[in-house]
Amino acid sequence: MADSNFVDYVKIYCCSGKGGKGSSHFRRAKYIPKGGPDGGDGGRGGHVFLRANRNLWTLLHLKYERHIIATPGEGGSNKGSTGKSGEDRYIDVPCGTVVYDADTGDFICDVTEDGQTVRLLKGGKGGWGNIHFKTSTNQAPRYAQPGEPSEERNIILQLKLLADVGLVGLPNAGKSTLLSVITTAKPKIANYPFTTLEPNLGIVKYRDNRSFIMADIPGIIEGASEGRGLGLRFLRHIERNSLLLFMIPADSGDIKKEYEILNSELEKYNPDLAEKSRVLAITKSDLTDEELKNALSRNLPENIPHVFISSVAGQGLDALKDILWTELNRETFQDKEKIVHKNMGIKPFDSQDDNIEGRASAGSEPDMEYEW
């Protein structure tokens, strides 16, 4: 994972610009001994914005830029001139990025559409110059307002991939193989658990030049919602998928039990996932005959469309595409954007635990444990 260019989690520090101070200048001109106050207002400090960019697919560019600081506004000057406003800073992120407060774990916002912009921090307002404070009884005010202070915040950016179909299954269920067969994606494929260490996206071509996006999520094991295996690191990507394709091998001991394990882990992670549409694919069906398929069909989860497929032999792939396309276009289909993001539970963990990596160095703040 250290050499991977796929970064879906990053913590950064953001600071808006301070407002410029107002000027307490007095007019100085030849033959005008009492020109009066003419100090201008200070300039506005720069804002910090979050902006979605469809040309990005990872948070790698923010991994090495952990401090986003907008410039402050300049002070006012004579002749009632307002100071220059600070330069705004834009944080470009992939579509589907979610923002949390790193100190409290509260959900802040998410961006899903290209060009969507959200202001994270407001720049300080510039102070008034002394020209605003002159009155009939105070004709020579020698004071002006300071600019408003800047805002600062530590935030956590999480990328949740936007896809139409998400592949859900235990390790070695054939997810990467299916993606490599029906799309042009080339995920790593091998005969050992957790071959896929990062999500992969592919475009599935359908009839009449139609297509949809499929995401291969790393394998889920029992206890993933508690952090086992790759745990919470990739479960969040499933939230953004419109349709879930459960993949269970035909040579599994109990297909229904494996499905219940997968479904239970998803619901423990986010109960809203229980409302998503789903399809069941029985993989490696080239190892079975029709009699065995009929026997397996009698013990499958109810009210869920299912299909027997074999990615290697090419069996059932067209039927799978038909089912997926039908489910994606149902009138009662749940929109992938209609998702309620939970706050992150943040608490200090016990530094005596030898199993925790990346503990704080002497003099630094205590490490924090993040829960979703």
* Tens of pLDDT, residues 167-190: 888 877 888 888 888 888 777 776
Contacts for 209 with CB less than 8 Å, ≥ 6 apart:
none
Contact 230, 198 (CB under 8 A): no
Structure tokens at 3: 């050499």
Name which of 347, 345, 365, 367 is nearest 357 in CA terms: 367
Contact 114, 42 (CB under 8 A): no
Structure tokens at 128: 């008034």
Structure tokens at 73: 């506004």
Residue with tokens 């999480």: 158
163-168 and 241-249 strand pairing: parallel
The rounded average pLDDT for each run of 10 residues, N- to C-terminus, in the chain (372 residues) is: 68 95 88 85 95 88 91 91 93 91 90 92 93 88 92 91 82 83 77 66 84 80 59 69 86 84 81 82 83 82 86 87 87 50 58 39 40 43
310: helix, strand or coil: strand
pLDDT score for 10: 92
pLDDT score for 57: 82
What gap in Å lies between CA 204 and CA 191, rounded to an integer?
24
Residue with tokens 């250290």: 2
pLDDT score for 369: 43
pLDDT score for 193: 59
Edge to edge, the sheet with strand 241-249 lists 200-205, 211-216, 163-168, 241-249, 277-283, 306-308
Let me know how many helices (H) and strands (E) the chain has, helices first.
6, 16
pLDDT score for 256: 86
pLDDT score for 47: 96
Structure tokens at 211: 């297509």
117-121 and 97-101 strand pairing: unpaired
Structure tokens at 138: 């105070």
Contacts for 308 with CB less than 8 Å, ≥ 6 apart:
250, 281, 282, 285, 288, 293, 315, 316
pLDDT score for 233: 63
pLDDT score for 42: 93
> Terminus-to-terminus CA distance in the chain, angstroms?
21
141: helix, strand or coil: coil
pLDDT score for 191: 64
Residue with tokens 């869920």: 304
> In angstroms, what CA-CA distances link 154 with 13, 87, 100, 136, 341?
4, 20, 9, 48, 19
Structure tokens at 355: 């199993």
Give me Rg for the CA atoms of the chain: 28
What gap in Å lies between CA 56 and CA 90, rounded to an integer?
14
